[in-house]
Amino acid sequence: MTSRDCPLCTGSGGELVWQGADHRVILADEPRHPGFCRVIWRAHVREMSDLSSVDAARFMASVLIVERVLREQLAPDKVNLASLGNVVPHLHWHVIPRWVDDSHYPDPVWAPARREAPGRTIDAAALSDALREALSHT
């Protein structure tokens, strides 16, 4: 099941970090939110509840592995998880490390920005390595 008009069917959706049989993890190009990852189901499926319960549980387990690695590697103040898909109705999870001094905190990243955020540099290569290592055991 793919859709020729869907950017998550036709492209990776970001820097590919890990590719499993039916879902992948990418590092998003979100300069104001370093470490922003997405976990993307391979098939063009709309809602979590369209997956079988086994598939949904495996997919969510990967989302939580990403959350755990982000916490270990980046020590954010909070992690935000969301599956929205209003614009791109192809099942994907946003896994977003948040800091109290980021541009939007404590609002969600989809609200208007509250401030200029400090330039926070992360070690994307180390993060990608840690994600691949953790996801390789799934």
Point out which residues bind its own copies (CB under 8 A). 46-49, 53, 56-57, 60-61, 64, 67-68, 71, 78-87, 89, 98, 105-108, 110-112
Output the smallest distance, CB 82 to its own copies, in A: 4
Which residue, 7 or 108, has its beta carbon nearer to its own copies?
A: 108
Which residue, 9 or 60, has its beta carbon nearer to its own copies?
A: 60
Contact between residue 97 and residue 44 where contact means Cβ atoms under 8 Å apart? no
Output the smallest distance, CB 118 to its own copies, in A: 17
Q: How big is the chain by its Cα radius of gyration, in Å? A: 15
Output the smallest distance, CB 70 to its own copies, in A: 9
Structure tokens, 77: 């103040």
C-alpha separations of 8 from 71, 110, 123, 130, 135 in Å? 26, 20, 25, 24, 20
C-alpha separations of 64 from 2, 73, 121, 126 in Å? 26, 14, 23, 18
First-residue to last-residue Cα distance in the chain: 24
Output the smallest distance, CB 136 to its own copies, in A: 17
For tokens 């949904």, what's the residue?
56
Which residue, 56 or 122, has its beta carbon nearer to its own copies?
A: 56
